[in-house]
């Protein structure tokens, strides 16, 4: 696993508590002092109990940490699920010595399965004892479900004479088209940031990064992206966009979140390729966004990419199916930089062969220019393989 900078005042742990047969399934992130916090969550009309509880706890202001589990999503269980999420927060809060309202909770895994308390009670005690400043990788492993690799990223930046850091983890492999953030993502920084500005900054960063990811067009019930800033590096709080350090902090947060977002798309269930989709030239931003999402979520496009088939017809077909206005005489489709359709016609078999050869890469690009306006949108997605079908056909069995 890649090395990331340690973030002053934060410690982490991840271990197996018994919710899954043998893999790590419980993660803890703790600040040694109250931290400003911001969160964005799923827009699903059936949010998980941890989403409901964390939204409530964020209103309390300062936060001491996050406790998260994998294996069981704690979704669709009504009042019993809410009680379990509150109890999970209370157990972690009691173990580190703070109020339950200062703990945020997150869960991911199977929907509708009750979350048992006994393994959590034992596991949280052990997780507190295992907390370490270098434990971020352990926490990343503990929130994985169908992910094949843990996802960790970090950056350092200098504000005058002080060194500051941002680090984070994320999980997500399937059921990803967030329209908010992603399945689970937790970022921390030792910068001092005013709570109101932190919330604004986090909304902006997630819109440009985690909200640019789709694997299968499905939005999870558990999507949660959290940012904690504890000010352990010292200095005056960054209070607004013109404050010293605001631009540097935004750049660091954006870099970490964008790296994690790309890794989510790269690790899509059964994926063999990371795909960047860029659309330009629709009449409006909304149409450009809709065209990009149609391409990124099209089963026909994604399976063609899996097979290395430079089928530009699939791309134009799905844009047309969305009833998006375009000018074919000014439309261009590029695959891995090779123009395969331009000015109303295919560019010929030689271009098709060049594009097909490049589609064998692990990272590929689809670029579409529609010739109607100035709109622009970019997404990260992946191809669709037979392994995706197998994973999801057997998810609960």
From residue 374, how far is each of 213, 214, 284, 369 by CA, in Å?
22, 23, 7, 10
Q: Locate tokens 């173990």: which residue?
A: 95
Which residue in 318, 304, 306 sits closest to 368, CA to CA? 318
CB 177 within 8 A of CB 211: no
H-helix or E-strand containing 376? strand 376-382
Q: What gap in Å lies between CA 78 and CA 81, rounded to an integer?
A: 5
* φ/ψ of residue 155, rounded to 5: -145, 150
Q: What gap in Å lies between CA 76 and CA 73, rounded to an integer?
A: 9
From residue 157, how far is each of 102, 160, 255 by CA, in Å?
28, 10, 11
From residue 110, how far is each of 74, 100, 353 by CA, in Å?
8, 25, 43
Joined together, the tokens standing for residue 81 give 């699920």
Q: What gap in Å lies between CA 139 and CA 30, rounded to an integer?
A: 11
Cβ within 8 Å of residue 83, ≥6 positions away: none
Question: In this structure, is the dihedral angle defined by the CA atoms of residues 108, 112, 113 and 118, taken in order, positive or negative?
Answer: positive
347 belongs to the catalytic site: no
Joined together, the tokens standing for residue 149 give 């690799």
Beta-bridged to residue 366, according to DSSP, are 277, 335
**Residues making up the chain, counted from first to last:** 397
Marked catalytic residue, from 182, 206, 224, 381:
182
Question: In this structure, is the dihedral angle defined by the CA atoms of residues 291, 199, 274 and 147, taken in order, positive or negative?
Answer: negative
Which residue in 226, 220, 280 sits closest to 73, CA to CA? 220
b/e code 95-119 from CB counts within 10 Å (16+ = b): bbebebbbbbbbbbbebebebeeeb
Query: What residues are annotated to the active site?
Result: 182
């Amino acid at each position: 696993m890649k090395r990331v900078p340690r973030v002053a005042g934060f410690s982490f742990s991840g271990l197996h508590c018994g919710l899954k047969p043998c893999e790590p399934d419980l993660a803890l992130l703790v600040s040694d002092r109250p931290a400003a916090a911001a969160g964005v969550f799923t827009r699903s009309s059936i949010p998980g109990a941890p989403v409901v509880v964390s939204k409530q706890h964020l209103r309390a202001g300062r936060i001491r940490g996050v406790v998260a589990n994998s294996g069981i999503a704690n979704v669709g269980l009504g009042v019993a699920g809410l009680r379990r999420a509150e109890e999970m927060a209370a157990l972690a809060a009691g173990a580190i010595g703070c109020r339950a309202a200062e703990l945020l909770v997150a869960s991911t895994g199977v929907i509708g399965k009750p979350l048992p308390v006994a393994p959590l009670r034992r596991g949280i005690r052990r997780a507190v004892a295992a907390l370490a400043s270098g434990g971020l990788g352990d926490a990343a492993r503990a929130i994985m479900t169908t992910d094949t690799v843990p996802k960790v990223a970090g950056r350092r930046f200098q504000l005058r004479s002080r060194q500051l850091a941002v680090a984070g983890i994320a999980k997500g492999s399937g059921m990803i088209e967030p329209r908010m953030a992603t399945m689970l993502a937790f970022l921390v920084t030792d910068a001092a940031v005013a709570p109101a500005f932190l919330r604004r900054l986090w909304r902006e960063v997630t819109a440009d990064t985690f909200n640019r990811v789709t694997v299968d067009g499905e939005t999870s019930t558990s999507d949660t992206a959290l940012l904690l800033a504890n000010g352990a590096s010292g200095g005056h709080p960054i209070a607004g966009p013109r404050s010293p350090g605001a631009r540097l902090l935004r750049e660091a947060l954006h870099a970490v979140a964008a790296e994690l977002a790309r890794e989510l798309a790269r690790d899509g269930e059964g994926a063999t390729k990371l795909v960047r989709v860029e659309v330009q030239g629709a009449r409006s931003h909304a149409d450009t966004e809709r065209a990009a999402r149609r391409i990124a979520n099209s089963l026909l496009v994604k399976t063609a990419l899996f097979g290395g088939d430079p089928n530009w017809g699939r791309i134009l077909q799905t844009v047309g199916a969305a009833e998006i206005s375009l000018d074919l005489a000014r439309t261009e489709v590029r695959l891995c930089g090779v123009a395969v359709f331009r000015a109303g016609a295919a560019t010929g078999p030689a271009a098709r062969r060049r594009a097909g050869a490049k589609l064998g890469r692990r990272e590929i690009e689809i670029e579409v220019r529609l010739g109607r306006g100035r709109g622009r949108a970019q997404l990260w997605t992946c191809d669709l393989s037979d392994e995706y079908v197998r994973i999801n056909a057997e998810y609960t069995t």
